[in-house]
Structure 1
Amino acid sequence: MIGSNLAYAQDGAQQSDLMIVLDGSGSMWGQIDGRTKIEIARETLSQVLEETTTEMNIGMIAYGHRERGACGDIELLVPVIPAAQSVSQIISAASNLQPKGKTPLSDAVRMAAETMRYTENAATVVLVTDGIETCNADPCALASELEAAGIDFTAHVVGFGLSADEGQQVQCLADITGGAYFSASDAGGLQDALTRALNRPEIAMDDSDFTPVGPEPRNVEFFIRDTANDPILGIRELTIAITRADGTPVARDDYSLNYPEASDLSATASLPPGQYTAAITRIGIYEASVTFDVPAGTGTHLVDLSLSARLVINTFLNPALPLDTGNPPASSVKSDAWSYYEIYAINDGDIAETPLFEAYQDLDFALPAGVYLIRANLDRTTSAEKIVAVAPDGITEVDFSFDVTRVFVEAMQTNGQRVERQTTYFYDEPPSGRNYFASGGGVASNGDVTPFYLPTGRFVMNVGGEGYGARRSELIVDVTGDYADIRLVVGEGATLSTDEIAFLTSPDHRPCATFLRVKYVGCLMNPVP
């Protein structure tokens, strides 16, 4: 029975007041096994509380149950009073909740702490939530604030139907305040989690109950980074499993990941002297395995771990023209020639189906040593790719060139004036409707002629004023690969010759090898083997 377990083992020990904070947000209408989460929560709360010891003082706050979209929708439903009086009120209040709104869980926990006068009295909060904070508050910062100001403040968190990533975003409330985080995915899990959250007694220990085995463990503090000079990583970015040298796992209770913003370190552990291996996942990016030693001795042992190497990409329009990804050059396709990049792992010659990274600037990536494929698109026109090998324990810098030439086009009328509303299209095959691979204007609103960025090859250009019909011109543009700027001034009415059309369909013509999408589709002339 929970009632008997909730009593403290030490005679005369004073229990802290306890406040349940219950999620009444709209997402609680979601279903698990054919039943709504609010229905499961009401039933489970009733079952657990009916077995609660009458010696407890307990109350309840709910949020998100009265208004849609209101971050201030937080209500004290039952004050903290003896359980003999409050349990029936809590069960009744929960049964009347009608989920509607947002998830201001941080402010709800703050209200619970302040209601229990946490700066003067011991206070415990049990938060039951099916979602993460949605009201622009930081639960981790709140936990640090309550832990620092409270006499004996503790928060336990029950994540009902949360994903692992969502759970990590609220787990800090428990970790920082000395509480526990419980994950529940169904009705049975919620009952178990609530029972355990309400059953966190202080148990009197006696040294005679234990027989020392082996050397005394040492406190170990970990500082884990991508590479040596990077910021410290913690529970938001990592998962970790530690094993001994013989392969046996270290008990999960003997180590834990931390929030670096709260503790200035990645993880803590209590480990006997010996050699260990840490299997670490950089969530969503890479996995690493590192070994470390805990020497015999006293005091805290510090372990610095660098998990990966770095890949830095230096970008170029062509070998003679660097490309500043943060300050792209002018373009005729859009106002600026933005570029986009994807990094794929290659394992045993196979290219991963999904990229490890997607970026358009700050091309500095932490990843394990290995072989990778860089794919990129420039100006929604040209794509390029390159295989690179990243060396361990350091920075690998690679030059990545799109190998394009700047092509400036100015269309003129027969009277010597520029055409009105110039439009320009490029084709890698005989023009037929909309089978162009690049299009744009050619002249900016301020009158400047702006470039297209074309790969090496022979292309057809259609250019003229918008709506000019037969007055528009079609001609061959040869981009030879010497990367010298090409500047074209084109009159009206030019057409392709019979020989030019024949060449475009002959075996000697080399069109785009394929069209590769990296955010946008572009002409790829030289695919990797």
Structure 2
Amino acid sequence: MYLLGNRTNTRWYVTGAIAIVTVLSSVVLAPHSQAAGSRAVIFLVDTSGSMAGTKLGQAKSALNASVNALSQADVAGLQNFGGNCGDGGTLQVPPSSTNRTELHEAIDGLSASGGTPTTDALELAAANFPSAATEKILVLVSDGESTCGDPCPTAKQLHDQLGISFTAYTVGFQTSGQAETELSCIADATGGKYFAATDTEGIRNAINAALGSTPVACPALGQSISATLRKYGVYPDPEAMKPYMIEYGNLPLTFTSVELSPGASCSVQSNNGSLPVNLVFGAPPLGFAVTIGTSTTQAKLDFFRAPSSEVPSVACNFAELKASSGLDSVPTPAVFGGVDKCFLNAARATAGGVVVRWTIPGFTEEWKDPTSTVHKYVFTTRSMEFYVDLTTLLNSTSVASVPFADLVDLVENYIHVTLVNNLPHLMSIAAVQDPPAHLTVQDPLGRTIGFSRGSQSYAGTGYVEQGNHSAAWIVNPAPGRYVVTASGQPRSSFQTEFSVSQLLGHGDLPLTSTVAWSSRLSNRGTATRSFTVPKVSSTPTLRLRVAGCSPSQGIVVKKANATVTYSLRGSTFPLGVREIRWNFGDQKQAVGLTAKHKFRVSGRYLGSVTVIDQAGQSTTVNLPTIVVRAHHSLTPKSPQRPTLPAGKATR
């Protein structure tokens, strides 16, 4: 849960000192498959009978992940082999830079049978490389020795024919003895390297290392790692830093490697974590904290090699997000400058770098009276999706040299701190802090909380005393007048601060309003003062603008085929926006904060615009009447009766 958004400065830190000296080499890639300087890769997969069952399944998973790790500029193809001598196999997918879907489908469709004619497969694969490619890389995955002669002399011959541009990397899958000797020889003869692998992760890491495209050392499917969201706090009023701070407590998380998301080279999912939310009154070491709620969600991290079609090219604009009170789901992201589905730390991905996508289904917020298990307030936020460029985050340090668990921990805490500092408020809190007297607060409905025999706690309220401090708070307070009574030693001095933080639907009101009250208790040991929580409507305030509209008449006169521009810019949406839909009155519709429409036929059109907020409530207002005139008429002519032939009559 990210409650406070009125801090513009972002603080974050890297825990521990990480010395990173490894730098991955990279290849400058041309944008088209046949362009000079392009890199062509052929995956040559052994599908002989010995690969049947679990082994082929593991190889498929690794190959799919390696395809996702390819650059968009990489030219790649797939060939499999398994049969009799003289049969070099089948080129399932010809090399191309635009065939990723076909590669995945072909990999998933592989089946195993027959022998292992490795020599013939090498010859066919070499012939399938695009002639224009200046770098030809063969990735051979096999589990056994050739059944049709020694392939090593053939590999040497092919390298002599194709030159230094041809390199074979071999992956021995659960191999030993003669099989390892042959595969090592093929790699050595072509200037490549042999990798031994025993599982999916081993094959994937071997292929990615061979291609220089290892984005991250992703754990094996089902393997888990740990990360911790560290305690972090923010003040509603960053200038005054009082009267309280909202603090998010430590949250241990477990991330598990899961099936890859489309285009991702690694995907991990967290457990459902409940983040404690505390109100901290007073400054350390005299301050004290009270847990007033929890926020539960589940995060997923997807890692992509850039460039990728799954990654946007827009930086987040939190200033516009705050101004719109949570405007988020209208399907025109360019209008809002990237409210979500955007980069938190860059304008776009670093070419050849690694991007992390952070996705959650939404936060389940639970606010409750800490002294009761009955009084609580629960709601769920919308889903969120943000991106982080790891190259920027690590200050150009090699991503591959950072342990994966450290990367996950780093990314989670960076996102956590950034969102805490930038996302808008979700609801409102009224807080009263008082040293050293007792407090009683009466709300506009006559209910009281605090130090009083007649006080009662209700949903979203709480009261606590610790040391010489007492504090009361009300989550989602009703609008109206609140009466605060301080009590204690007669004639003793005290100081009380009232704070109303509008965490949702603040509209034009200040985010935080604080009033200080310093005085002495009366001879009876009491003092009373009130403060007001302003009324904030959850109904959107729509500021409709139509180009060319006459404010007095509400009528726009246009010629046929003229374009009319509509806008809701400057409107307030307290509960956020799920959808804005325009109905132009001619059976045509559009969505978005703004809309343009061309009326092609003369007539009078009465349209409307409907806003659906995140709570599912809809608000509809009529649009100004659009009069489209034909020729020189200012208003459309009345429909005329048809002229009938002589002798005919109407009924």
Q: Which has the higher contact order (CA 8 A, sep 6+)?
A: 2
TM above 0.5, yes or no, is no
TM-score (norm 2): 0.26
TM-score (norm 1): 0.32
